[in-house]
Homo-oligomer: A and B are copies of this chain.
């Protein structure tokens, strides 16, 4: 059973495919097609269930009404929630989103960009990774709208939407210090991206501001992409070897692993031992006691990204790049 084409509709309606095309694309009035013809063709389209072949349309027009979204890992709730919000908002504006995960592999990220490019997506939303600057630059040279989010690549001139991680992390550490904590650990990842580096810098600056010496052993960098069992082992080592009275986890999944360790060690979280997570997670609020966290305003981030994209797509000229920093919020719970 072959799908109908515009030719079939034209034949049935006894008009040219040009006329059918104009009607499908809402240009009937503009091209002064008679009302009678419009009615007739529309009826035939409705009855036959004809849907234009978007592939052919894309080949001809060079665009697709599809926005490509590249995230680090769709199974991380930060990304899956953002993806869902972006999808919702784009959908309402007539755009579809296709997404895929890089899993922090430069190679996979490059392949995804190639795939999206060869599929003629109209715009790109990317949580980037170091090493794909050139690939993104090529997109920019081709005048494709690109919005980076979550992480920035400062050497590129393009749009970026992200949270202020330096400030957020600084604030979290200060809240520990105000509680009188002295042995404050940071558990973070070893990936070398700005938004992760900022969290470490906020940590160090807050310590310095309050004349607390920085102890390298309290800053634990967990290799990305390793099995959780190894992560748990490393965090356990930290808590066993060092006297720690407060810990900031730089990502939600590290916090989850860390909480498992604390549970295993029977280390309760109380006035003698404080924990702050990152990016929130359903488990944080539910935990006994509830876990404080640094929350990125997902709704606002998604909204800002979509607004930037739509503006770019609507405008013929390249708009000035925007770097939008949205404050992250420290949510204190107990």
Asked if A282 lies at the interface with its beta carbon under 8 angstroms from chain B, I say yes
Contact of A282 among B64, B283, B288 (CB under 8 A): B283
Other-chain contact of A287, B52, B77, B84, B287 (Cβ < 8 Å):
B287
The smallest C-beta distance from A247 to any residue of chain B, in angstroms, reads 16
Stretch at the interface among A25-33, A54-62, A216-224, A232-240: A54-62
Task: State the CA gap A145–B137 with chains docked (Å).
Answer: 38
* Interface contact B87-A96, CB-CB below 8 Å: no
Among A81-137, those with CB < 8 Å from B are: 81, 83-84, 87-88, 91, 96-101, 103, 108, 114-115, 117-120
Nearest-neighbor residue (CB-CB) of A291 within chain B: B286
Specify which chain B residues have a CB less than 8 angstroms from the CB of A114 in the assembled complex.
51
Is A311 close to B, CB under 8 A?
Answer: no
- The segment out of A12-20, A160-168, A256-264 that lies at the interface is A256-264
Contact B80 A77 (CB under 8 A): yes
List, in ascending order, chain B residues with CB within 8 A of A256's CB: 282, 286
A59-B55, A80-B74, A99-B98 known; A286 and B285 CB under 8 Å? no
A137 → chain B closest CB, angstroms? 12
Nearest CB in chain B to that of A2: its residue? B142
